[in-house]
Chains A and B, each alone.
Chain A
Amino acid sequence: MANKKYSKEQLTDFYRTMVRIRTFEEKAAECFTKGMLAGNIHLSIGQEAAAAGAFAAIQPQDYFTSTHRGHGHAIARGMDPNLCMAELFGKKTGYCQGKGGSMHIADMKKMNHLGANGIVGAGQGISAGSALASKILGDNAVTVGCFGDSSTNEGTFHENLNMAAAWKLPVVWFIENNCYGVSTEIHRVTNTPDLAPRAAAYDVPFAVVDGTDAVAVYEAMVKAMDHARSGKGPYVVEAKVYRYQGHYCGDPAVYRPDEYMEKALENDAIEKMGRRLMEMGVAAEELEAIKKAADDEMNAAVQFAVDSEYPDPSEAVTDVYASDNERCVAR
């Protein structure tokens, strides 16, 4: 797919982003298994190339929504792993001061992040609405809605894609298709082999790409972003990915055939990119150094989270309302 010439530096950047995402996820899983953090976490190991490729195509002025499986989007966007990890731990220093947790990590102020969302499909309305705002404001920003495969079966997929198309809104929907909605294989509940072609029903262009190839994802997304930014309306990109873990950390995924993981490991995005870089003359030590740096960085993130304070219990009643909060919460 990637037949263009990319510099070593560009490909190394993809490699580094993917390694950082996977390391973050592995550290988070380790902490979860040790009982250091509460709740559920949904890991994106196996989807790193999709996040790295897509976010390389998203400009600083652009907006995006994320999902319950959103740690990779945050790292790829350039958010601080310390603050992400602290949020997973429910600490005061987390991005959402411990009020959102894993499913709601967001940096709204600096990263134009419109929220990771615990409701499948909720980002479709929000991303389309953000695009509507851009259209009204004429600010030249594109909004990217990141979703999983299962959200394409929500009514909002169709409602919002229809409106976005009718009103030519600058929005790109990026579907990471890992084939599973919790335990349900997508083709058991969906009649089409691919999901993005549904866009054609609304006369919206689309692309289906190998989501284990960061470069392929990047190229598809660049095209999609250009389309949306030029005022032609929405664009849908579907990246085929693998979800190495179960739905949530600790889910043994017994519902999945062995072949799924065999194929996944054959196509491991980080391995593939590593081989490609070595073919281009990058030394194994260099790649090891990247992994070592990521390991150090994410260990530090865990340490930061561990060392951070929990929010004071009194914080439970703050931030419900922007104004008149105390009275509105009191009764």
Chain B
Amino acid sequence: MSKKITVSKAIGEALHEEMVRDDKVFIMGEDMAVMGNVFAITRGFLEEFGPNRVIDTPISEEGFCGMAVGAAMRGMRPVVELMYDDFATVAADPLLNQAAKMRYMSGGQATVPMVLRAPMGAGRRNAGQHSQSLENFFCHFPGLKVIAPCSAKDAKGMLKTAIRDDDPVIVLEHKLLYAKKEEIPEEEYLIPLGQADVKREGRDLTIITWSREVNFSLDAAQTLAAEGIDVEVLDLRSLVPLDWDAIVKSVSKTHNAVIVSEEVKRGSYAGEISAQIAEELFDELDAPVERVCGLNIVPPFSPTLEDENFPHPDTIVKAVKRVLNK
């Protein structure tokens, strides 16, 4: 049995199911309670779970992220929402110095089972401080797990797993996916972290990607198929842990790889994956790995400018052809 719902509704279902299942789970963030989130993800939660577990915070990102760390160390399972992942810079210390490191610094005594939901991504004409994709920022810090699901099904199944996970998990949710309606199973299910999904099988080249760029990559693959180029699309879904086995399997089959993300290209996680492929799969490669990312610029506002700053299907098509010299 399956049903068709939006990605945001799927996220709401995950939160709801986990809050019903475990009373240690609570949610906090800006406009989460009375308003029920700017994307209506938690509408009705306040009435159902009460103000202790559905908390509207002041605009104090560092403060409430720090509180989430403290609560998580006490065995709670806070699910915190930053209105935009860009605001993570304001809350850098609790996320990167506290949540990420507490377990290690304490010699394994602490667990910090918190989840940070961080809407991200370009395309909403939100300019420099509301449009970033900060995968590299989070993935850099050992101690954090980082996921970036694309589909409604993954968004729900992986968020549920993230809430149950004993480590701090950053969930990167692309804002332009929220309204997409997709089929998900009717019954309860979980999707493990660290398991990539082959969204399309192909022979000639592997596109490694995640989040919204999965959809663009699938569009590109279709265009390429019409020209006789058979591309595999690997949706990583989870960045840390990384499903390296899936990458090895796919790249060893196609011998060519393009990595697609909306990040600033310089220092991107896409570049990290590229480096790992170069290091460990050198002899499998028939061409250099190419990164297709945003530019090394500040996210612009004007549509004509912003559209330059994230990969579109045609940019991906061009990159694939470049790598294959077609």
Q: Do chains A and B touch in the complex (CB under 8 A)?
A: yes
Q: Which residues of A contact B (CB under 8 A)?
A: 63, 65, 94-100, 104, 106-109, 114-115, 117, 119, 122, 124-137, 143, 155-156, 159-160, 162-163, 166-167, 318-324, 327-331
Contact yes or no, B107 A94, CB < 8 A? yes
Is B301 in contact with chain A by the CB < 8 A criterion?
Answer: no
Within 8 A of A (CB), among B101-127: 102-111, 113
A319-B103 contact, Cβ under 8 Å, with A125-B65, A125-B70 = yes
Residues of B within 8 A of A319 (CB): 103-104, 107-108
Is B194 in contact with chain A by the CB < 8 A criterion?
Answer: yes
A98-B107 contact, Cβ under 8 Å, with A155-B62, A160-B63, A321-B167 = yes
Contact yes or no, B69 A96, CB < 8 A? no
> Once the chains are docked, how many angstroms separate the CA of A124 from the CA of B60?
13
Contact yes or no, B104 A156, CB < 8 A? no
> Once the chains are docked, how many angstroms separate the CA of A129 from the CA of B276?
38
- In the assembled complex, the CB of B158 is this many whole angstroms from the nearest CB of chain A, namely 14
Is B313 in contact with chain A by the CB < 8 A criterion?
Answer: no
Residue of A nearest to B112 (CB): A322
Contact yes or no, A129 B69, CB < 8 A? yes
- In the assembled complex, the CB of B24 is this many whole angstroms from the nearest CB of chain A, namely 8
Contact yes or no, A115 B194, CB < 8 A? no
Is B67 in contact with chain A by the CB < 8 A criterion?
Answer: yes
Residues of B within 8 A of A124 (CB): 63, 66
> Once the chains are docked, how many angstroms separate the CA of A322 from the CA of B106?
12
Residues of B within 8 A of A329 (CB): 142
11 new A-B contacts, CB < 8 A, other than A155-B63, A162-B60, A321-B103, are A95-B106, A96-B109, A100-B107, A115-B102, A122-B98, A128-B70, A130-B74, A163-B64, A322-B111, A328-B145, A328-B241
* B63 CB contact (under 8 Å) in A95, A137, A159, A322: A159
> Once the chains are docked, how many angstroms separate the CA of A323 from the CA of B143?
10
Is B71 in contact with chain A by the CB < 8 A criterion?
Answer: yes
Is B193 in contact with chain A by the CB < 8 A criterion?
Answer: yes
Q: Which of A100, A162, A163, A321 has the most CB of B within 10 A?
A: A321
Is B26 in contact with chain A by the CB < 8 A criterion?
Answer: yes
Contact yes or no, A159 B62, CB < 8 A? yes
* B75 CB contact (under 8 Å) in A133, A155, A156, A328: A133
Residues of B within 8 A of A327 (CB): 194, 241-242, 244
* B242 CB contact (under 8 Å) in A94, A98, A331: A331
* A96 CB contact (under 8 Å) in B106, B111, B166, B167: B106
Contact yes or no, A133 B76, CB < 8 A? yes
Contact yes or no, B70 A323, CB < 8 A? no
Contact yes or no, A163 B74, CB < 8 A? no
* B66 CB contact (under 8 Å) in A99, A129, A133, A137: A129
- In the assembled complex, the CB of B247 is this many whole angstroms from the nearest CB of chain A, namely 10
> Once the chains are docked, how many angstroms separate the CA of A262 from the CA of B254?
77
Residues of B within 8 A of A328 (CB): 142, 145, 167, 194, 240-241
Residue of A nearest to B26 (CB): A136
Residue of B nearest to A167 (CB): B55
A108-B70 contact, Cβ under 8 Å, with A100-B105, A321-B167 = no
> Once the chains are docked, how many angstroms separate the CA of A253 from the CA of B97?
29
* A322 CB contact (under 8 Å) in B68, B93, B103: B103
Residue of B nearest to A138 (CB): B52
Range for the number of chain B residues in contact with chain A: 35 or more
> Once the chains are docked, how many angstroms separate the CA of A243 from the CA of B171?
44
* A323 CB contact (under 8 Å) in B26, B67, B104, B165: B165
Residue of B nearest to A126 (CB): B70
Residues of A within 8 A of B73 (CB): 108, 114-115, 126, 129-130
Contact yes or no, B66 A160, CB < 8 A? yes
Residues of A within 8 A of B67 (CB): 125-126, 128-129, 132, 160, 163
Residues of A within 8 A of B78 (CB): 129
Residues of B within 8 A of A135 (CB): 52
* A99 CB contact (under 8 Å) in B98, B104, B142: B104
Q: Which of A97, A162, A327 has the most CB of B within 10 A?
A: A327
Is B320 in contact with chain A by the CB < 8 A criterion?
Answer: no
Is B94 in contact with chain A by the CB < 8 A criterion?
Answer: yes
Across the A-B interface, the 7 shortest Cβ-Cβ residue pairs:
A125-B66, A129-B70, A159-B63, A129-B67, A96-B107, A97-B107, A126-B70
- In the assembled complex, the CB of A169 is this many whole angstroms from the nearest CB of chain B, namely 9
> Once the chains are docked, how many angstroms separate the CA of A323 from the CA of B98?
18
Is B53 in contact with chain A by the CB < 8 A criterion?
Answer: yes
Contact yes or no, A125 B63, CB < 8 A? yes
A133-B109 contact, Cβ under 8 Å, with A125-B62, A159-B62 = no
Residues of B within 8 A of A318 (CB): 108
Contact yes or no, A132 B58, CB < 8 A? no
> Once the chains are docked, how many angstroms separate the CA of A65 from the CA of B98?
13
- In the assembled complex, the CB of A149 is this many whole angstroms from the nearest CB of chain B, namely 19
- In the assembled complex, the CB of B60 is this many whole angstroms from the nearest CB of chain A, namely 4
Contact yes or no, A104 B69, CB < 8 A? no
Residues of A within 8 A of B69 (CB): 125-126, 129
Residues of A within 8 A of B315 (CB): none
> Once the chains are docked, how many angstroms separate the CA of A99 from the CA of B109?
11
Is B57 in contact with chain A by the CB < 8 A criterion?
Answer: yes
Contact yes or no, B242 A115, CB < 8 A? no
Contact yes or no, A108 B106, CB < 8 A? yes
Residues of A within 8 A of B57 (CB): 163
Is B72 in contact with chain A by the CB < 8 A criterion?
Answer: yes
* A115 CB contact (under 8 Å) in B75, B110, B240: B110
Contact yes or no, A321 B110, CB < 8 A? no
A104-B106 contact, Cβ under 8 Å, with A114-B70, A128-B70, A132-B71 = yes
